[in-house]
């Protein structure tokens, strides 16, 4: 592991091009953690995950152990794995699904045992055709190996898993929309309360929804103990985490680093990580946690990669996606494209999100095309404020899901950081950058 000597929980197997096969997985200790878990009681397994202080890796960062203990006992409960990864610039679950599907599955099986769930669904984004094939094959092989199905490894515990393909809709990443989608409906996020699927989930039954990377951490935690995981990182952010680094760096890619011990500067500039800005250019800004997060500038480079550290600085680690923009980047164009994404993907249930996203997109487009009007910046902020009153962080929510309040992130942080550049677009009808 670059920069710290933390173990490689997520990436240890990735050097091998055949890492997705059951043969390689078994050769590298695969399904041993499951065997160990089955000798423990479900409560003991849950206690280890709780002790690990594993924050969910899907974006919201809710502690997995706590989520599990919320599951109220009912005759039917489900575990659903969120592999819908579509937050722009995020590409780590895609990698895990394609390259180490067995590690994900082993996490699912152990978690199902801890939760005493006999049915789990792995929802994989539809656009991941290869990922779906690898996951389906891994599942077949896991059944054949006795790691899934009736009486797993003669333990008396039984579990069925279904791999479910999505069909192209960003909003289905929201866990309540994902459940609607899994029920064969449009992916409309559900009205809260209830706030958690653990209360009312799939088919109205208590359901735990966890992210793919969250699941892939479980085997290591069981094998090495929750305390060993909690010893990595600092504060509430424990363990290692996958970061998807993209944009104007020499070495874009997925990197596993120890949480908090590594900073944005390390990730972007260290030779064994991002390798610095391409072509000797300067950093202009970076997006710290997917396009739903407000932008950061060079003054934020020394912030550690920790959930609370980044949250307190006014943005979020979100989906673990960091996009680097150099000094040749047109910030209006960047904000416009991100806003266009939200306007395409808004499910349309809430007026501020549906109408606001389209309006913002049109205003940004005309500024970018040199047709901006003098009061357009005020208009952008005003419409943004209607979607997320006060434009505070964390954002105020007037909508059913947090897609709505995510829309203003790039706009208001972009204007705050690059007001002159936005104004020049309007005044001179052209881009001052390129």
Ligand X SMILES: Cc1cc2nc3c(=O)[nH]c(=O)nc-3n(C[C@H](O)[C@H](O)[C@H](O)COP(=O)(O)O)c2cc1C
Closest CA to 112 of 160, 60, 62: 160
Is 338 near ligand FES (CB under 6 A)? no
Asked if 30 and 103 count as a contact pair (C-beta separation under 8 A), the reply is yes
How far apart, in whole angstroms, are the C-alpha atoms of residue 399 and residue 416? 24
The H or E element that residue 165 is part of is strand 160-165
Is 209 near ligand X (CB under 6 A)? yes
15-36 burial, b for 16+ CB within 10 Å, e for fewer?
A: eeeebbbbebbeeeebbebbee
Is 284 near ligand X (CB under 6 A)? no
How far apart, in whole angstroms, are the C-alpha atoms of residue 105 and residue 215? 8
Q: Of these partners, ligand SF4, other proteins, ligand FES, none, which one is at the site of residue 350 (CB under 5 to 8 Å by kind)? A: ligand SF4
Neighbours of 343 (CB within 10 A): 20
Q: Of these partners, ligand FES, other proteins, ligand SF4, none, which one is at the site of residue 353 (CB under 5 to 8 Å by kind)? A: ligand SF4
Q: Work out how close the CB of 148 gets to other proteins at its nearest, in angstroms, rounded to a whole number.
A: 8
Is 180 near ligand X (CB under 6 A)? no
Among residue numbers 76 through 115, which ones bind ligand X (CB under 6 A)? 82, 84-87
Q: Work out how close the CB of 300 gets to ligand FES at its nearest, in angstroms, rounded to a whole number.
A: 22
Q: Work out how close the CB of 234 gets to other proteins at its nearest, in angstroms, rounded to a whole number.
A: 28
How far apart, in whole angstroms, are the C-alpha atoms of residue 241 and residue 213? 9
Among residue numbers 84 through 113, which ones bind ligand FES (CB under 6 A)? 88-89
Contact region with ligand X (CB under 6 A), list: 52-60, 250-258, 307-315, 361-369: 52-60
Closest CA to 404 of 390, 376, 384: 384
Q: Of these partners, ligand SF4, ligand X, other proteins, none, which one is at the site of residue 153 (CB under 5 to 8 Å by kind)? A: none
How far apart, in whole angstroms, are the C-alpha atoms of residue 313 and residue 304? 11
Q: Work out how close the CB of 244 gets to ligand FES at its nearest, in angstroms, rounded to a whole number.
A: 9
SS3 (DSSP) at 426: helix
Contact pattern for ligand SF4 over residues 177 through 216, marking x by CB under 6 A: ------------x---------------------------
Edge-to-edge order in the sheet of strand 160-165: 160-165, 119-124, 78-83, 207-211
Q: Of these partners, ligand SF4, ligand X, ligand FES, none, which one is at the site of residue 175 (CB under 5 to 8 Å by kind)? A: ligand X
Whose CB is nearest to ligand FES? Answer: 88
Closest to other proteins by CB, 200 or 259: 200
Among residue numbers 151 through 180, which ones bind ligand SF4 (CB under 6 A)? 171
How far apart, in whole angstroms, are the C-alpha atoms of residue 311 and residue 289? 10
List beta partners, residue 159. 149
> Phi, psi (5° rounding) for residue 121?
-125, 135
Q: Work out how close the CB of 267 gets to ligand SF4 at its nearest, in angstroms, rounded to a whole number.
A: 30
Is 86 near ligand SF4 (CB under 6 A)? no
Q: Work out how close the CB of 121 gets to other proteins at its nearest, in angstroms, rounded to a whole number.
A: 9
- Residue 230 sits at the vertex; the CA angle it makes with 229 and 236, to the nearest 5 degrees, is 130
Closest CA to 402 of 291, 281, 247: 291
| Sole binder of ligand SF4 in the list 142, 242, 244, 400 (CB under 6 A) | 400
Q: Tell whether omega for the bond before 246 is within 30 degrees of 0, i.e. cis.
A: no
| Sole binder of ligand SF4 in the list 399, 409, 410, 413 (CB under 6 A) | 399
Residues 6+ apart with CB under 8 A from 12: 28
Is 354 near ligand SF4 (CB under 6 A)? yes
Is 210 near ligand X (CB under 6 A)? yes
Strand 160-165 and strand 237-238: pairing?
Answer: unpaired
Instruction: Give the residues lining the site for ligand SF4 (CB under 6 A).
Output: 171, 189, 346-350, 353-354, 399-401, 403-404
Instruction: Give the residues lining the site for ligand X (CB under 6 A).
Output: 56-60, 62, 64, 82, 84-87, 171, 173-175, 209-211, 214, 401-403
Instruction: Give the residues lining the site for ligand FES (CB under 6 A).
Output: 88-89
């Amino acid at each position: 592991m670059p920069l710290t000597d933390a173990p490689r929980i997520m990436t240890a197997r990735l050097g091998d091009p055949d890492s997705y096969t059951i043969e390689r997985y078994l050769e590298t200790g695969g399904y041993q953690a499951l065997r160990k878990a089955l000798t423990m009681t479900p409560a003991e397994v849950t206690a280890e995950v709780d002790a690990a202080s594993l924050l969910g890796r899907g974006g919201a960062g809710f502690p997995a152990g706590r989520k599990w203990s919320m599951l109220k006992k009912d005759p039917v409960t489900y575990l659903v794995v969120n592999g819908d990864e579509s937050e722009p610039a995020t590409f780590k679950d895609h990698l895990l699904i394609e390259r180490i599907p067995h590690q994900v599955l082993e996490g699912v099986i152990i978690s199902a045992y801890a939760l005493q769930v006999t049915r789990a669904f792995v929802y994989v984004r539809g656009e991941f055709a290869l990922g779906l094939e690898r996951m389906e094959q891994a599942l077949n092989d896991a059944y054949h190996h006795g790691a899934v199905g009736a009486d797993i490894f003669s333990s008396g515990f039984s579990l069925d898993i279904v791999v479910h393909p999505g069909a192209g809709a960003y909003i289905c990443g929201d866990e309540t929309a994902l459940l609607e989608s899994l029920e064969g409906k449009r992916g409309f996020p559900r009205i809260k309360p209830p706030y958690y699927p653990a209360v009312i989930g799939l088919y109205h039954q208590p359901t735990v929804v966890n992210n793919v990377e969250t699941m892939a951490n479980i085997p290591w935690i069981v094998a090495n103990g929750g305390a060993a995981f909690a010893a990595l990182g600092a504060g509430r952010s424990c363990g290692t985490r996958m970061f998807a680094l993209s944009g104007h760096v020499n070495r874009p890619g997925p990197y596993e680093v120890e949480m908090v011990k590594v900073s944005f500067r390390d990730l972007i500039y260290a030779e064994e990580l991002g390798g610095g800005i391409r072509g000797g250019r300067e950093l202009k800004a970076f997006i710290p946690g997917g396009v739903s997060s407000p932008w950061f500038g060079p003054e934020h480079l020394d912030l550690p990669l920790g959930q609370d550290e980044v949250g307190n600085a006014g943005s979020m680690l979100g989906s673990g996606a960091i996009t680097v923009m150099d000094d040749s980047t047109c910030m209006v164009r960047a904000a416009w494209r991100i806003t266009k994404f939200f306007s395409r993907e808004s499910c349309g249930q809430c007026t501020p999100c549906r109408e606001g996203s389209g309006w913002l997109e049109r205003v940004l487009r005309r500024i970018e095309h040199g047709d901006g009007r003098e009061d357009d910046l005020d208009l952008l902020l005003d419409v943004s404020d209607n979607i997320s009153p006060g434009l505070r962080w964390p954002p105020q929510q007037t909508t059913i899901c947090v897609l709505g309040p995510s829309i203003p992130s790039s706009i208001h942080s972009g204007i705050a950081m690059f007001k002159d550049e936005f104004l020049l677009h309007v005044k001179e009808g052209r881009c001052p950058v390129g």
